[in-house]
Amino acid sequence: MPKTTSDLIVERLLEWGIDTCFGICGDAVNGFFEALRTHPEMRFVHVRHEEYAALAAVGYAKFTGRAAACVATSGPGALHLMNGLYDGRIDGAPVIAITGMTYHDLVGTHFLQDIDNAKVLEPACTFSERVMGPAHAVAVTDRAVRAALYRRAPAHLTIPIDTQSWTGDQDTVSEKNVPGHTSTAGQRHVQVPAEDDIRRAAVLLDDCDKIAILAGAGARFGAGDLLEEVARTLGAPIAKAGLGKDAVPDDSPFCTGGIGFIGTRASQWAMENCDGFLIVGSSTPFYDFWPKPGQARAVQIDVAGDRIGMRYPVEVGLCGDAGATLARLLPMLRARKDLSFAEEARALYDRWWELQRRRAADPAVPMKPQAVTCALSDTIPDGAILTGDAGTVSSWGSRVMLRRGMQFSFSGTLCSMGSALPYAVGAQIAHPGRPVVAFVGDGGLSMCLGELATLVQHGLPVKVVVLRNDTLGLEVWEQNAYLGNPQYGCGLSPIDFVKVAEGCGLTAFRVEECGQVADALTRAFAHDGPVLVECVVDPHEPPFGETVKPAQVEKIVKAYGRGEPAAAPMAANLLAPGRPPLSPGVEQHRGDLGGYARG
């Protein structure tokens, strides 16, 4: 049979090694679905909402480094992709989006679902184009894939309803469109900075006494082991931006955990006391937790040259791949015998982690969120993939201890609620033999409950761990700490997630006491299908108790004075034994908080 426009696109994607597509069918894209049906080597994963098709493709890309496709119909279907595509663009994930649109000769005539998808999705994509017919299909697909892979961002093709099913005899070919003029030739490119720039960076770092390292998303693939060697050579602690959590294991002797509000006191201390700063693949927006400008001499490594110097006044910028650059830099560095700065930071990290353990063991009901993060740290299998979500759960997820060989990611810069579950779908499709855990909050999970059914439909053994506190907890703390306002509009009507999960076909458990968590998680990991574990936790435990700044605690006290309804339990938790000595912000306002804690 003659090949259609859609056949040609699917076959070309397969030639590029893109063999997975997430999405939902619809009348304006059903011609493309016929090509999916007749090409079973392209795995199609049916999700329940187009946004989560795009997010699943982003998750696939983040945990493999390879592109996946997502597909949606015209109008609302294409528009629903937008959030997931922006997530991929901001966090650097290659995705190929395919959308349908109205008939080629009715575009712009106010016909049903007549939206110019190529223009609408263009801001979220590095490339966005309408496919004009079979003669155009291969060349424009090659262009989209090259753009997505090279620029590490989504690319988009939109195809009119009728054009999707056209064959060559229904199309015209211009004399300039030479048959076979494109190819899928590889484009692997490892960028390395100039040798003299690397040497200048080594001299600068050798002149510093107390160096702190920050690892971001750019340090994830292939750079982590080298980064530990650099840290050992320099005697430098490694703090991690949220997207760099899996760059270095949490049990590395040089790791001090996360940075920013979802970080640790140890990372904050390292940044406050360093005189040298090495930034590897990070442009985190929490640069207010970095050294003060002028405090530390700095070197930045980033594959995107336009990000160098964007967050900190670095003296030497190394534009290149993190792994390749560190490999050149390491032999030029002077090995330090004095590792005391890294050792002191790690000792503080151990003290901070002991506080988390003490909070986890608190017998109060509802239990503290730390009971879940600590139990998950102890029970999560080797080689697991952990996906995180936006909200207070970002903080608790950042505290799960990752061992070597584990992976983690979340919607780090867009902070899109509801991303953990579709990320987990993408991760499990990409790595069917590895344990995958979606660590979600009740606010985020309530946005994407339909994707629980996706797990069952495709037999994906994802373990969904949901922290239920019946509130948008992060907004409560941000309304208090950022603005000095009492909480408003944050309460959530309770959802029985166990019943919802069971209704979708999952096995499900509820946990309400700290002593039950490890057993429930162990049972979940032993089960060979998808499982949901609902953990009812204290909504008043601060997600950034050790990193909150003095000025922000002052605003919290102001919010309490203005009528914050949960002032007493929130203040009591801020003053929990062991927390004030690790939190300068809380310690400075201990007296004011004490008045509210006593009611």
Residue 288 has a CB neighbour count (10 Å cut-off) of 10
For residue 313, pLDDT beyond 90: yes
| Residue 185: per-residue pLDDT | 84
The DSSP H or E segment spanning 398 is helix 392-398
Look at residue 381 in the predicted model and tell me its pLDDT.
98
Measured CA to CA in angstroms, residue 208 lies from 276, 309, 315, 495 at distances of: 5, 19, 13, 54
End-to-end CA distance of the chain: 78
Kindly state the average pLDDT of the residues 57-65. 97
Tell me the CB-side half-sphere exposure of residue 12, using CA atoms within 13 A: 25
Nearest partner of 410 among 125, 53, 59, 149, judged by Cα: 59
How do 68-72 and 95-101 pair as beta strands? parallel
User: Which amino acid is present at 216?
Assistant: G
pLDDT at residue 423 above 80? yes
φ/ψ of residue 417, rounded to 5: -65, 145
C-alpha distances out from residue 183 to 93, 95, 139, 141, 319, Å: 23, 19, 8, 10, 29
Alpha-carbon distance of 384 to 152, in angstroms, equals 24
Phi, psi (rounded to 5 degrees) for 535:
-115, 115
Domains of the chain: 5-170 (3.40.50.970), 195-347 (3.40.50.1220), 362-543 (3.40.50.970)
CA distances (Å), 517 to each of 74, 227, 367, 466, 506, in order?
A: 45, 34, 10, 12, 18
Question: pLDDT above 90 covers what percent of the chain?
Answer: 92
Tokens 């990193």 — which residue? Answer: 547
C-alpha closest to that of 60 among 25, 26, 87, 98:
87
Position 523 scores a pLDDT of: 98
The string of pLDDT tens digits covering residues 380-390 is 999 999 999 99
Q: Quote the pLDDT of residue 221.
A: 86
pLDDT at residue 109, rounded to an integer: 84
Q: Do the beta carbons of residue 56 and residue 425 sit within 8 Å?
A: yes
What is the Cα–Cα distance from 393 to 444, expressed in whole angstroms?
A: 9
Q: What angle do CA 262, 268, 272 make, to 5 degrees?
A: 155
Q: Would you state the structure tokens that stand for residue 124, as one six-digit string?
A: 């979220």
Compute how many other C-beta atoms are within 10 angstroms of the C-beta atom of residue 240.
31
> CA 86, 89, 95: angle at the middle one, nearest 5?
95
Q: How would you list the strands of the sheet with 407-409, edge to edge?
A: 407-409, 385-387, 436-441, 463-468, 531-536, 507-511
How confident is the model over 384-402, as a mean pLDDT? Answer: 96
Mean pLDDT of the chain: 95
pLDDT attached to residue 187: 66
pLDDT one-digit tens code per residue, 25-59: 999 999 999 999 999 999 999 999 999 999 999 99
- Average confidence (pLDDT) over 430-452: 98
Beta bridge partners of 99: 72, 158
> Which position has the token pair 């950034």?
544
CA atoms lying within 13 Å on the CB side of residue 413: 18
Q: Which phi and psi angles does 467 have, rounded to 5°?
A: -90, 115
Alpha carbon distance 436, 596 (integer Å)? 42
Share of residues in the chain with pLDDT > 70 (%) = 99
pLDDT recorded at residue 113: 85
The alpha carbon of residue 19 and the mean position of all alpha carbons in its chain are separated, in whole angstroms, by 23
Q: What is the mean pLDDT of residues 429-446?
A: 98
Averaged pLDDT for residues 397-423: 96
Report pLDDT digits (tens) over 168-206: 778 787 777 788 888 788 766 778 999 999 999 999 999
Whose CA is closest to 546, among 331, 246, 260, 329?
260
The residues with which 21 forms a beta bridge, in sequence order, are 44, 69
HSE (side-chain half, CA atoms, 13 Å) at 557? 19
State the Cα–Cα distance between residues 539 and 492, nearest whole angstrom.
Answer: 11
Q: What's the Cα-to-Cα distance from 196 to each of 339, 505, 587, rounded to whole Å? A: 28, 60, 47
Burial 361-370 (b: 16+ CB within 10 A, else e): ebeeebbbbb
Rounded CA separation 552/561 (Å): 14
| Sheet order of strands, 211-215 included | 255-258, 238-240, 211-215, 276-280, 297-302, 316-319
Q: Which of 451, 469, 467 is nearest to 506 (CA)?
A: 451
300 or 598: which carries more pLDDT confidence? 300
Identify the helix (H) or strand (E) that includes residue 531: strand 531-536
Q: Give residue-wise pLDDT tens across range 235-256.
A: 999 999 999 999 999 999 999 9
Residue type, 135: A
- Give the span between the Cα atoms of 529 and 426, in whole angstroms: 16
